Chains A and B, each alone.
Chain A
């Protein structure tokens, strides 16, 4: 009887052994689950990136299907190494049918034109560069002008400006600016941006300058379309 009483606490303690065992098991399972979780999170991230890329490519494909041009899709593989010029490097070149002075755009609007085309790569001069001039047209008022990038003394970010616009034109903020097709490089009707402000040119007083917000976010370009010819 005494022996039983003495042993009872140990018997009860024995109940804890499965618990201790299961704790070890749980710890192992926990570690395994953490590992699986990490893997799954990586996979979700990768899928999310693929999904986003898919969406961007779909937009480009949609544009390609509805456009009347022969186009080549290219990836952006580099930016301009200098602070004073604005250009991109793309992974398509003359072997893909590219040549100098071809229009480059995406589903949002006009990006620029090709310069320095090599066999497998090309450089794209962005419309925000002051050396890239585009014949533009205010979509509602049908007033033509020349769009180019502007660098100002006390501003860090580049802007677009449309110059040589008829000084009597009534321009409202929010009006779309599109390419006019003049000059032969950029096809007619591609969105350049939105007019924000118009003012009489200070130096000559003979025409208006119109500030434009670009339609394209140039910092986030990953894929572009190059127009290689008309269908």
Chain B
């Protein structure tokens, strides 16, 4: 059930991500919702399940992008493996841990895009802004899902 809800969340997240306008006052940076979902799965679910969800999220994002198919799945997969390995050392309830985890997943995706596809390893400001936004979205998502779980009694 939790996995089905998570998959539904990913599909809704990727659709929203592709529909929402970019933040023109921030130079056209797009708010990314999927890194937040990936972090939530990595810090909450079993490793195998979290990894499967990360791959679904990555492939869904690539399907709605001009990116080479699988590149986001690779980034989210690597991020999930690292986060699940560090899970014992991380307190998932601390907002700054959530923020850093969200930003780290976003930066991983950017760096892999830079190296794998040959995007210029410039664009530093955009990468940092996107990571900061992803971190903030992660904190909000944790708050919302944890509240919903408490309120509706999800496992």
Asked whether A and B interact, the reply is: yes
Which A residues are closer than 8 A to B by beta carbons?
78-87, 89, 115-116, 123, 125, 129-131, 151-158, 219
**Contact across chains for B113 and A219 when beta carbons are under 8 A apart:** no
**Contact across chains for B65 and A87 when beta carbons are under 8 A apart:** yes
Q: A83-B32, A84-B110, A84-B119 are in contact. Are A156 and B126 (CB under 8 A)?
A: yes
Chain A residues lying within 8 Å of B117, measured Cβ to Cβ, are: 84
Chain A residues lying within 8 Å of B129, measured Cβ to Cβ, are: 156
The A interface, classified by DSSP as helix, strand, loop or mixed, is: loop
Chain A residues lying within 8 Å of B65, measured Cβ to Cβ, are: 80-82, 85, 87
CA A27 to CA B72, docked complex, whole Å: 61
CA A104 to CA B21, docked complex, whole Å: 21
**Contact across chains for B120 and A219 when beta carbons are under 8 A apart:** no
Q: Could you say which interface size class chain B belongs to?
A: 20 to 34
CA A99 to CA B122, docked complex, whole Å: 33
Which B residues are closer than 8 A to A by beta carbons?
14, 17-19, 21-22, 24, 26-30, 32, 34, 61-62, 64-67, 72, 110, 113, 117, 119-120, 122-126, 129-130
**Contact across chains for A81 and B61 when beta carbons are under 8 A apart:** yes
CA A152 to CA B21, docked complex, whole Å: 22
- Selected A-B contacts with CB under 8 Å, 13 pairs: A80-B18, A81-B18, A81-B34, A82-B30, A84-B113, A84-B117, A85-B65, A85-B66, A86-B66, A89-B18, A125-B66, A131-B66, A153-B122
**Least Cβ distance of B108 to chain A in Å?**
13
**Contact across chains for B28 and A219 when beta carbons are under 8 A apart:** yes
**Contact across chains for B119 and A81 when beta carbons are under 8 A apart:** no
CA A10 to CA B121, docked complex, whole Å: 91
**Contact across chains for A152 and B123 when beta carbons are under 8 A apart:** yes
Chain A residue with minimal CB distance to B126? Answer: A156
Chain A residues lying within 8 Å of B61, measured Cβ to Cβ, are: 81-82
**Contact across chains for B124 and A81 when beta carbons are under 8 A apart:** no
**Contact across chains for A151 and B67 when beta carbons are under 8 A apart:** no
**Contact across chains for B26 and A84 when beta carbons are under 8 A apart:** no
Residue among A78, A79, A84 with the highest chain B CB neighbour number at 10 A: A84
Chain A residues lying within 8 Å of B62, measured Cβ to Cβ, are: 82
